[in-house]
Amino acid sequence: MPKTCTRCPRKCSGIGRGFTGFCGAIIVDDYGVRDKYPWMVTAITTSVIEKIPLYHFYPGSWSINLWVPGCPYTCKNCPWSAVVNGEDVGKLYELKKITLNEILDYFKQVSANIVSILGGEPLIHEWVAKLLSELKAKGIRTVVKTTLTVSSSIVEKLDVDAFLIDIPILAGSTPSIGNIIDNIMYIGRRGIHYELLLLIDSTSILKWTKILEKLQTIDKDTPTHVQIVEPVNWKTIKKIIDKLEATGFNYVYVVGDTSGEYSTTYCPNCKTPLIIRDEYGVREVLLKDNKCPKCGLELKIIGGVSKGKQRRTLRLFASGERILWSP
Ligand code: SF4
């Protein structure tokens, strides 16, 4: 009897034994639906949280980042797009099995404040939800980068402190924006912090009117990061930023901005620069108790700001071997 996976909208069905779904990481067969690579990651790295990028959640803090393979989508220019069409991620990537104790050990070793789970689409894996709950039980803050287009029953059970929500406005087979917005509304009601990551390519500007209509319902204090995934001229980028600001978004950032202009947090009321960043992280903090020192407006920044700088991005293992950390 074929079984159907309902973890994401693709709803893959499989019969026999060992059929791998489109994401390359979930088995769907006569025996049910299960993770093919439980507790396996392609890499563990460290970075400041601004590199995730999250700007309003414990700014300047230090994160260990778990890279989880497998994704149901085929967005153009995504480094994970090689995994699609049911190609088994185990054949494409060197995977490493990890345990909770090992993660805790890495966490301590690098004096991290946060664990971030990145993908691919990490939420298709059952073990990721389990890991999040176990980290929560240990009092560790967690972040997930996700398209949020997984079944609502998965989103409802998650124990997570913050989301970076990936919205790919790209060519290729991308998730439905409507679906993403529905889940954003849900996590907003639950009071979970989230920021948006809008992935842009040269085709994005054509879809922009529709996208803005969908984004209308989102809280305008949501930090919104624009990431350009292929060379796009500055005029186009500026047009996108202007449209977001005209729609009312108060915090629009550009990923990898070296000028500082679009990585700095300004007071939405009086435009005073409050958290000045460069490409390495937080450079200067003028915010006082989360308030603008000039006009007194309170900003919704979760946690205090530390002046953490990117020391370096480091892989904590390679070729299956652990690399010792020496700060
Ligand atoms: S999670 Fe994977 S196996 Fe399940 S429906 Fe989506 S693509 Fe198919």
The continuous run of DSSP H or E covering 187 comes out as helix 177-189
Q: Give residue 319's pLDDT.
A: 44
Provide the whole-model pTM: 0.91
Q: What is the mean pLDDT of residues 173-179?
A: 78
At 111, the amino acid letter reads S
Q: Please tell me if the CB atom of residue 28 comes closer than 6 angstroms to any atom of ligand 1.
A: yes
Q: Please tell me if the CB atom of residue 19 comes closer than 6 angstroms to any atom of ligand 1.
A: no
CA of 126 to the centre of ligand 1 (A): 12
Question: pLDDT-derived band of residue 163, with 50, 70 and 90 as boundaries?
Answer: very high
Q: Is residue 326 part of a domain?
A: no
pLDDT digits (tens, 9 = 90+) for 104-131: 999 998 889 999 999 889 999 999 999 9
Q: What is the domain count for the chain? A: 1
Q: Please tell me if the CB atom of residue 22 comes closer than 6 angstroms to any atom of ligand 1.
A: yes
Q: Is residue 123 part of a domain?
A: yes
Q: What is the mean pLDDT of residues 8-24?
A: 89
Q: Please tell me if the CB atom of residue 26 comes closer than 6 angstroms to any atom of ligand 1.
A: yes
Q: Give residue 326's pLDDT.
A: 41
Contact status, residue 278 vs residue 260, Cβ threshold 8 Å: yes
Q: Give residue 314's pLDDT.
A: 55
Taking the CA of residue 27 as reference, the ligand 1 atom at the shortest distance is 3
pLDDT exceeds 90 at position 55: yes
For a substitution probing ligand 1, which of 4, 12, 73, 128 has the most ligand atoms within 8 Å of its CB?
Answer: 12
Q: What is the mean pLDDT of residues 303-322?
A: 58
Q: Which of 180, 178, 176, 208 is nearest to 196 (CA)?
A: 180
pLDDT digits (tens, 9 = 90+) for 209-243: 888 888 888 999 999 999 988 777 888 888 889 98
Q: Give residue 278's pLDDT.
A: 83
Q: Give residue 312's pLDDT.
A: 54
Q: Which of 199, 4, 22, 23 is nearest to 123 (CA)?
A: 23
* Domain extent at residue 230: 3-313
Nearest CA to ligand 1 atom 3: 21
Q: Please tell me if the CB atom of residue 69 comes closer than 6 angstroms to any atom of ligand 1.
A: no
Which residues contact residue 270 at a Cβ distance below 8 angstroms, ignoring those fewer than 6 apart?
292, 294, 295, 297
CA of 13 to the centre of ligand 1 (A): 9
Contact status, residue 241 vs residue 226, Cβ threshold 8 Å: yes
Q: Is residue 199 part of a domain?
A: yes
Q: Please tell me if the CB atom of residue 3 comes closer than 6 angstroms to any atom of ligand 1.
A: no
pLDDT exceeds 70 at position 321: no
Q: Which of 175, 178, 193, 155 is nearest to 52 (CA)?
A: 193
User: Domain with 245 in it: what CATH number?
Assistant: 3.20.20.70
Q: Is residue 49 part of a domain?
A: yes
Q: Is residue 147 part of a domain?
A: yes
| Longest distance between any two alpha carbons in the chain, whole Å | 67
Ranked by mean pLDDT, the top range of 42-56, 125-139, 307-321 is 125-139
pLDDT exceeds 70 at position 175: yes
Q: Is residue 228 part of a domain?
A: yes
Q: Is residue 318 part of a domain?
A: no
What integer best gives the mean pLDDT of the chain?
Answer: 86
Q: Is residue 323 part of a domain?
A: no
Q: Please tell me if the CB atom of residue 8 comes closer than 6 angstroms to any atom of ligand 1.
A: yes
Question: pLDDT-derived band of residue 35, with 50, 70 and 90 as boundaries?
Answer: very high
Question: pLDDT-derived band of residue 86, with 50, 70 and 90 as boundaries?
Answer: low
Encoded tokens for 12: 């893959």
pLDDT digits (tens, 9 = 90+) for 240-284: 899 899 999 999 999 988 888 899 999 999 999 999 988 788 888
Q: What is the mean pLDDT of residues 46-65?
A: 93
Question: pLDDT-derived band of residue 136, with 50, 70 and 90 as boundaries?
Answer: very high
At 317, the amino acid letter reads F
Taking the CA of residue 8 as reference, the ligand 1 atom at the shortest distance is 6
For a substitution probing ligand 1, which of 5, 89, 121 has the most ligand atoms within 8 Å of its CB?
Answer: 5
